[in-house]
Amino acid sequence: MEKHLLSKSTFIRGMQCSKSLYLYKHRYFLRDRISPEQLARFSRGTDVGLLAQNLFPDGIDCKPASPRQYAKSLEKTQQIVIEASADVIYEAVFQHHQVLIMLDVLVRENESWNAYEVKSSLKISDTFLLDAALQYYVMKGAGLAIDKFFLVHLNPDYVRNGQLELHQLFVKTDVTDQVLQRQPLIAQKIDALIGVVGLTKSPEVSIGTHCNQPYPCDFIGHCHKNVPVGSVLELTYWSTEEKFALYDSGTLKFSEIKNAAVLNQAQQIELRCRQSGCEYFDKNGLKDFFNKISNAPIFLSLLSHRQAVPAWQGYKPYDLLPLSAGFGGGNENSNFINNATDSPDESFFKFLQPLIASNESVVVFDAARFKELLQRMAVRNSNMLQDTEALAARIIDLKEVFSQILYYNPQVGQDFSLLQLSKLIFGNSHLTNVPFISDTLATSGYLKAAKPMDAATAQKLAAYSQSHQVMTEAFYKYLIEKL
C-alpha cells in the first residue's frame, strides 16, 4: 500500500494554515521549542478515551505499538471487518486518498458499522466536526459500510452519585448529517493539502489571527521572527483582530498609531503608558477600590486543578479541586495541602474556618477559581452554603485593578501571572525561594506525587503557596503607597 501523506492531525494543521503543514513536513526543525509548561500539560491529562472504551466492552484493540506499525494495524482492522470476527474495534485504522486515520471505537450493527470518536471536552466544536468528517470520508472511501458517526464527549450536567455511570458521564451525539454535509469540502481540501505537501518551497502565508486559531501554531517563533520590538501585536487592550488589522494596514509599531482620539479609554491609557514607559495609576479609582477593603485584610493564595472525570460523590466533570492554599500567618493551620484520597471538601472547609470566623476582607490575586470552588462546595454540601456565601462576599480580587483600568503597567502582556507581575515590579526579590516557575508546573508536581504525599513535595507546595501570599500582599502595598 502506498504511504499516506496526511493524517488527521496534519489535515487539521493544513486547514489552519498551509504553511504550517509545509513546514511540518519539510522543515520540522524550525518548530518552536516545547516549554516545560507545555511538556507538563502534554504528560498530564486523564485518558478519557480509554475510559470511554468501556461503553463498548470486549473490543479488539488495533492501536499500533509505534508510529511505524500503522500498516500492521491497517491490515488487522481490515481483517476483522472482512471476517466479521469482532463486533467492537478500538483504534481502528483506515487509509484512503493518501490519508490515514485512526478511529476511537467502531461498532458493528448488523451489516453496517457505527463510528464513535471520543473527545475529553464538554461540548462539540467545528474542528471536531471537521475531524469527524475526514474520518468518515476515509472509512467510506476505504470501503467500510458505515452507517452513523457519533461524537462522544463529557456531559457537563453529569453529577457523580456513587459509582461512575459511564452512560450518563458521556454524551453520544449523532453528527452524521453534519459529517455528510462536509464531504465535498473534505475531498477538495485533501487534494489541496496533498498539493501543499508536494510543493518545493514554502507557500507565502502572512502571519494573522489564524496563528492561534483554533490551536496555537508551533512555528510562531519562525514566522514572527521579523515582527519588530514594540509591535502592535504586543498590545493588551486590543483584540487579536484589531491588532492584525493595524499590522496588516502597515502600522507595525504602537509608536506609529495615529488618531488616538478614536481609541477607547483603556486603549488610550495603554498607548500613553507604552509610549512613555510609565505605569498608570487612577488614584481616585484606586482609593474607591481600597475603601472596600477592611483594615487588616487577609491575603490568600490558591492552587487548583480541574479534574476531567469526577472522582467523588457530588462532583461534575472538570470540577475544581483545591491542591494547596494558604492565608499567611506562617502557622501550620494557615496552610492547606490536599493530601486526601477522597473528596477534599471537608478538609478544605476546615482550613477556611479562621477566614469564615473573621470579618476581614480576603484579598486574592485572580479570585475567579476560589469563588467557583466555594460555590461548588456549597452545592455539594448544603451545610456549607451560608458560610461559603458569606466568605465569597468578602473576597477582593486584586487582579481587577487591571480589568477596571485602575492600574496599568506597560510591560505586562495579555495573559500574565502574579509571578510575572512581581518580577516586573520587584525584580527577583520575591522569587528566590519559589520552588516552581508557574502554576502549571506546581500542578504537575502535585499530580505526579503519590498520595499521601511525601514531605518534600508537600513542603515545596506550601512554599509555593506562601510565596504567592507574599507577592499578593506586596502588590497590594505597592498600590497603596502610590495613593
**Residues contributing to the site for ligand SF4 (CB under 6 A):** 17, 19-20, 23, 205, 207, 210-211, 217, 219-220, 223
Closer Cβ to ligand SF4, 213 or 459, answer by number: 213
Report how far residue 30's alpha carbon sits from residue 286's, in angstroms, rounded to the nearest whole number: 46
Closer Cβ to ligand SF4, 208 or 314, answer by number: 208
- To the nearest whole angstrom, how small is the minimum distance from the Cβ of residue 32 to ligand SF4? 9
- To the nearest whole angstrom, how small is the minimum distance from the Cβ of residue 244 to ligand SF4? 11
Contacts made by residues 110-115, CB under 8 angstroms, sequence distance 24+? 111/145, 112/145, 112/146, 112/147, 113/81, 113/139, 113/144, 113/145, 113/146, 113/147, 114/146, 114/147, 114/148, 114/149, 114/150, 115/139, 115/146, 115/148, 115/149, 115/150
Q: Residues 400, 408: contact at Cβ < 8 Å? A: no
- To the nearest whole angstrom, how small is the minimum distance from the Cβ of residue 97 to ligand SF4? 24
Contacts made by residues 407-410, CB under 8 angstroms, sequence distance 24+? 407/279, 407/280, 407/281, 407/282, 407/286, 407/479, 408/236, 408/269, 408/270, 408/273, 408/279, 408/280, 409/273, 409/279, 410/270, 410/273, 410/274, 410/276, 410/277, 410/278, 410/279
Closer Cβ to ligand SF4, 17 or 179, answer by number: 17
Cell digits of residue 155: 456531559
Closer Cβ to ligand SF4, 20 or 267, answer by number: 20
- To the nearest whole angstrom, how small is the minimum distance from the Cβ of residue 289 to ligand SF4? 39
Closer Cβ to ligand SF4, 79 or 213, answer by number: 213
- To the nearest whole angstrom, how small is the minimum distance from the Cβ of residue 15 to ligand SF4? 11
- To the nearest whole angstrom, how small is the minimum distance from the Cβ of residue 217 to ligand SF4? 3
Closer Cβ to ligand SF4, 223 or 271, answer by number: 223
* Cβ-proximal residues to 307 (8 Å cutoff; 6+ apart), any chain: 46, 315, 318, 319, 321
Closer Cβ to ligand SF4, 149 or 219, answer by number: 219
- To the nearest whole angstrom, how small is the minimum distance from the Cβ of residue 201 to ligand SF4? 14
